[in-house]
Structure 1
Amino acid sequence: VIGQILLLCQILLFSIETMAYDMLDAINNGKDSWKVKVRVIRLWDAINLNNNELISLDMILLDEHGTMIHAKVIKHMVNKFRPLIQEGLVYMIANFKVTSAMNFRPVEGDKIINFLHTTKIQEIKGLKNIRIAEQSFMFCSVEVLSTRDGQRMYLSDVIGVASYIGNIEETGTTHGISKIRDIVLRIEDQKVNIRLWGNKVDQIDEDSMVLS
């Protein structure tokens, strides 16, 4: 009997992992009955800096074709979905709304997934059946980065060598006092100034600091 139960569980798991689903580059706002198999590669809380209140639970999803998309759970549904979502895991997500992306896009796409009350999410286990990378980035060159100066469309990924890491300081903003830390990255043959804000300043290893 135990063997039959285990076999049934294996069959059910296999059926979940092999059921038909859509690729991220194919979804659109034509319906709400999409089904995608994706890895949650980033997960964070979007916070209103004016009052420090939660706006939404946001994430970046990645499918087996390497397509990324921004997804969002609005504030009043966060308690329902937060316990079901963990960064790094693979899920089948069904019944969600697709809308046009706005400013400050974390990926270079024009669509965003919005969770609904009817959205279903099921973790997919069994690593041998998962062909989705654990991470993905879209690094831009210094030339592309310079074209984004002052624009609000995209957030950018860059990689470089830290030639200078400043001390943690405090500065006044319209939202109160905030911690800041300045970094100079050497990218290709140029230097780019970067400023970290808030809790991000503590994510730099103190042992990596370069005195100037």
Structure 2
Amino acid sequence: MSSYVLLANLRAGRCSNTAEVRLLRFWEARNVRKDGELMSLDMLLLDEQSTLIHGSINSSRVDTFRRRLSEGSVYSLSGFDVARANPKFRLSDSPVSIRFNDGTFFEPKTDSDKDIPTELFRFRSHEQLLALANTNRELPDIVGEVSSVRSTITDGLRGPQRVMVTLRLEGDVNVCVSMFDDRAVTFHTKFDEHVSEPRVILFTSINPKVVGGKLYLNVTSGTHFYFYCETAAGKEHYEK
């Protein structure tokens, strides 16, 4: 029987030990230069010590694991590969990442006695976002109060779809979150279906860019957006 391992103790190589993790989020990573060809299914995993780690399933194995994935569920994970984390577009502070292989065991664990947090975000201040802009070093999370929403979908304009959300961050600083094409449509649909216009929105995995001296926060394939009532962090910001 394999022994238990914490995510913070992982080292590069094949790991036969067992970890218990919560699947926070997952998404498809596609190659926009090859007509959106699927490259991998990426995810963020969290354990009871609040260690966050990036996991990845190669496109050839996606069909094997996709049906098992449920955001928020706890899993037993073993038989995976541990590799050095990519220094670009980092999604966690861990020096390593997890890669699924043909022998990886990843099954829901309904009787877990581990106290694993249900959410974890890597928020950055306006100053930190400016420092990260155009570096592609990491993809942080943000939460703020909605000042305005502009949408080419609402305006009925032809061509590429775009949604721009102006958020007021702590310190009373406004930033612009930009979404394009399918990400714009997904956000617009959720926003439009909401009973009342959300006052607070949380965005994950955004890519800060400075263009013409102005800070833009571009969504990525890994970006999830949550309205204030959907996360404890968003609700806390709303109630301030």
The yes-or-no answer on 1:148 pairing with 2:137 is: no
Does 1:181 pair with 2:163? yes
The one-letter code matched in structure 2 to 1:184 is T
Which ranges of structure 2 fall in alignment gaps of 5 or more residues?
200-240
2:197 maps to 1:208: yes
The equivalent of 1:126 in structure 2 is: 111
Say if 1:165 and 1:182, in contact at 8 Å, map to a contact too: yes
Going from structure 1 to structure 2, the CA distance change for 1:60 and 1:209 (only over 3 Å counts) comes to closer
Q: Which moved more, 1:19-28 or 1:96-105?
A: 19-28
Measure the CA separation in 2 of the matches of 1:209 and 1:198. 22
Distance 1:79 1:99 in 2: 22
Partner residue of 1:158 out of 126, 130, 142: 142
**Distance apart, 1:209 and its partner CA:** 8.5
* Moved >6 Å (runs of 4+): none
Counting only pairs closer than 5 Å after superposition, residues 1-212 of structure 1 correspond to structure 2 as: 20-50=3-33, 51-102=35-86, 103-126=88-111, 129-169=113-153, 178-188=160-170, 189-201=172-184, 202-204=186-188, 205-206=191-192, 208=197
How many pairs does the alignment contain? 186
Structure 1 residue runs of 5 or longer lacking an equivalent are 1-15, 171-176
Distance 1:139 1:209, change over 3 A: closer
Instruction: Decide whether the 8 Å contact of 1:97 with 1:113 is kept in 2.
Output: yes
1:208 CA drift (Å): 2.7
**2: CA distance, partners of 1:131 / 1:20:** 18
Superposition deviation, residue 130 in structure 1: 3.9
Return the offset for 1:87: 1.6
SS in 2 for 1:135: coil
Structure 1, 191-200 or 90-99: larger mean CA deviation? 191-200
Deviation string, structure 1 residues 106-141 (Cα, Å, up to 9, x no partner): 2233211000111112211036x2411221111111
Cα separation, partners in 2 of 1:209 and 1:98, compared to 1, 3 Å? closer
CA-CA distance at 1:72 after TM superposition: 0.3
Residues 108 and 154 of structure 1 are in contact (CA less than 8 Å); yes or no, is this contact kept in structure 2?
no
Q: Which amino acid aligns with 2:141?
A: D
Amino acid at match of 1:196: M
Identical residues among aligned pairs (%): 28
Given the two structures, how large is their TM-score scaled by the length of structure 2? 0.71
Q: 2:233 is matched with which residue? A: none
Cα separation, 2, equivalents of 1:192 and 1:24:
34
Residue 124 of structure 2 aligns with an amino acid whose one-letter code is C
Q: Is the 8 A contact 1:164 1:209 kept in 2?
A: no
In 2: Cα distance, 1:54 partner to 1:30 partner: 25
RMSD: 2.2
- Following superposition, the deviation at residue 32 of structure 1 comes to 2.7
| Cα displacement string for residues 119-169 of structure 1 (whole angstroms, at most 9, x for unaligned residues) | 112211036x24112211111111111100101120010111111111235
Q: Give the TM-score normalised by the residue count of structure 1.
A: 0.80
